[in-house]
């Protein structure tokens, strides 16, 4: 029997809130809150977060048959875990995730730093975050905006820096666990198709794009995403 683990991303990627549909769908699944996402010290790299997550899982006796489902930063952590500890991981599901440093619009990082200090920029940042929830049910969108408000722009800035230093292009074609990649076809963040790059580099991987889904496919099309994960696990594990 496998153990589902949902790993969040920056800001409103905060676990229990954004993965609420998955936690309900998979009884017994786990969704840790990464250190520095309100409590504790943030880690300086994906590798450090991976070691933290492994220690957290081992403390709960979860050492085998892991299905790591990661979103953005969480996807980087899941991919690192699958590369470093393939014997412990049964499958990976990566969403809105790349295997190399992100290409960001100029000023993306500076905007977060300014928002941490300037009230007008902070309001602009919060509105920009809300705009990403175009396809989400309004109640969940409101809760995720509240998560953003709590965690704040500085935490998001730190997470972006960590993501932007992640690069496993030289290792990814040797990935052993089964791999499913999911992308929202209508992501307002007009970024490169990072998931396709991973799919083309990893033999046997599966890649799905969901229409009317943006930056948070698992929260915007939960029934379809959950079904896709179920089908993938039934066919691969």
The residue among 182, 184, 121, 177 whose CA lies nearest residue 153 is: 121
Task: Give the pLDDT band (50/70/90) at residue 13.
Answer: low
Residue 231 token pair: 């089908």
Q: What is the pTM of this model?
A: 0.96
| Distance of alpha carbon 32 from alpha carbon 42, whole angstroms | 14
Of 38-52, 88-102, 181-195, which range is least confident?
181-195
Q: How crowded is residue 174: how many other Cβ atoms within 10 Å of its Cβ?
A: 12
- By CB atoms closer than 10 A (0-12, 13-18, 19+), residue 14 is buried
pLDDT at 66: 98
DSSP string, the chain: --EEEEE--SGGG-HHHHTHHHHHHSTT-B-PPPTTSSSSPPPSSHHHHHHHHHHHHHHTT--SSEEEEEETHHHHHHHHHHHH-GGGEEEEEEES--SS-----TTHHHHHHHHTT-HHHHHHHHHHHHHTTTTS-HHHHHHHHHHHHHHHHHHHHHHHHHHHT---TTTGGG--SEEEEEEETT-SS----HHHHHHHHSTT-EEEEETT--S-HHHHSHHHHHHHHHHHHHHH-
Task: Give the pLDDT band (50/70/90) at residue 42.
Answer: very high
Q: What is the rounded average pLDDT of the residues 46-51?
A: 98
Task: Give the pLDDT band (50/70/90) at residue 1.
Answer: confident
Task: Compute the C-alpha angle 94/109/165, nearest 5°.
Answer: 50
pLDDT tens string 213-233 = 988 999 999 999 999 999 999
| Contact (Cβ atoms closer than 8 angstroms) between residue 65 and residue 85 | no
Indicate the average pLDDT of the chain.
93
Bridge partners (DSSP) listed for residue 67: 4, 91
Bridge partners (DSSP) listed for residue 89: 66
**Alpha-carbon separation of residue 8 from 1, 96, 204, 234 (angstroms):** 23, 11, 25, 24
pLDDT at 134: 83
Q: What is the rounded average pLDDT of the residues 9-33?
A: 85
58 pLDDT more than 70: yes
17 pLDDT more than 90: no
Q: What is the rounded average pLDDT of the residues 103-116?
A: 94
Q: What is the rounded average pLDDT of the residues 121-138?
A: 91
| Contact (Cβ atoms closer than 8 angstroms) between residue 70 and residue 93 | yes
User: What is the share, in percent, of the chain residues with pLDDT greater than 90?
Assistant: 81
pLDDT at 189: 76
The residue among 174, 32, 5 whose CA lies nearest residue 94 is: 5
Q: What is the rounded average pLDDT of the residues 3-25?
A: 85
Q: What is the rounded average pLDDT of the residues 38-52?
A: 94
User: What is the share, in percent, of the chain residues with pLDDT greater than 70?
Assistant: 97
């Amino acid at each position: 029997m496998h153990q589902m683990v949902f790993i969040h991303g920056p800001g409103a990627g905060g676990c229990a809130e954004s993965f609420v549909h998955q936690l309900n769908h998979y009884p017994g699944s786990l969704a840790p809150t990464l250190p520095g996402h309100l409590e504790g010290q943030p880690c300086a790299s994906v590798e450090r977060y991976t070691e933290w997550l492994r220690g957290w899982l081992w403390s709960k006796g979860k050492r085998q048959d892991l299905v790591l489902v990661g979103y953005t930063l969480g996807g980087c952590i899941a991919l690192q875990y699958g590369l470093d500890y393939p014997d412990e991981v049964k499958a990976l599901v990566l969403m809105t995730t790349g295997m190399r440093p992100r290409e960001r619009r100029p000023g993306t990082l500076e905007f977060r730093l300014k928002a941490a200090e300037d009230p007008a920029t902070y309001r602009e940042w919060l509105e920009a975050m809300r705009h990403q929830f175009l396809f989400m049910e309004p109640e969940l969108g409101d809760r995720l905006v509240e998560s953003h408000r709590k965690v704040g722009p500085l935490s998001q800035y730190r997470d972006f820096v960590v993501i932007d230093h992640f690069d496993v292009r030289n290792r990814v074609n040797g990935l052993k666990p089964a791999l499913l990649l999911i992308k929202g076809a209508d992501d307002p963040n007009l970024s490169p198709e990072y998931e396709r790059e991973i799919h083309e580099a990893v033999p046997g991987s599966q890649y799905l794009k969901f229409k009317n889904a943006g930056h948070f496919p698992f929260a915007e099309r939960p029934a379809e995403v959950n079904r896709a994960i179920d089908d993938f696990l039934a066919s691969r594990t």
